[in-house]
Amino acid sequence: MPHLSTYVGLADHSERTLADSFRAVAQGHAREADVFHTCQLLAGWSDAHRERLATVVDRYGEDEVVEPERLHADGLAEVREGAVGLLRDLQDLHVLASLVQTTWTVVAQAAQGVRDRELLEIAQDAGVETSRQITWLDTRMKAAAPQALIVGPPS
């Protein structure tokens, strides 16, 4: 199962990137109280997915395979400033979360194929929570966009 292990590794890695990026956005936009608290909460969800995955990851020994090039997406090392910056950061989180979500989708398919019920359940549960992360990002971007794009702060 060489490529399933690659994708289990990708799930783990991309969840970590997403969690770190959520935390970076929380800290960087701490004056937006809801962004601060919600991003921390959602980072915790990604952490929890990784913890659950860790219980089965041994079965798929990650290190033997040669990974395809440019497998991993970069996280948000630094956040942007201001209202438009927040909007862009939320968009970046959205991209990272989408990668996580589609990764869980394909891991779930493969888990079915190899009849690993445990992995299947983990992938499905995590996928559901990833969609909830994405839904929040959608909602928050929609709320932020008009003011950021049309008015913005006086320069």
The interface region with another protein, picked from 70-78, 101-109, 119-127, 145-153 by CB under 8 A, is 145-153
- In the list 3, 27, 37, 95, the residue contacting another protein (rule: CB under 8 A) is 37
CB of 42 to another protein, least distance (A): 7
The interface region with another protein, picked from 27-35, 72-80, 90-98, 101-109 by CB under 8 A, is 27-35
Say whether residue 72 binds another protein (CB under 8 A). Answer: no
- Please choose, from the candidates 66, 55, 82, 101, the residue with its C-alpha nearest in 3D space to the C-alpha of residue 152: 82
- Please choose, from the candidates 119, 8, 127, the residue with its C-alpha nearest in 3D space to the C-alpha of residue 60: 8
Say whether residue 155 binds another protein (CB under 8 A). Answer: no
CB of 135 to another protein, least distance (A): 3
Q: Looking only at residues 87 through 126 of this chain, which bind another protein when binding is defined by CB under 8 A?
A: none
- Please identify, using beta-carbon distances, which residue of 66 and 151 lies nearer to another protein: 151
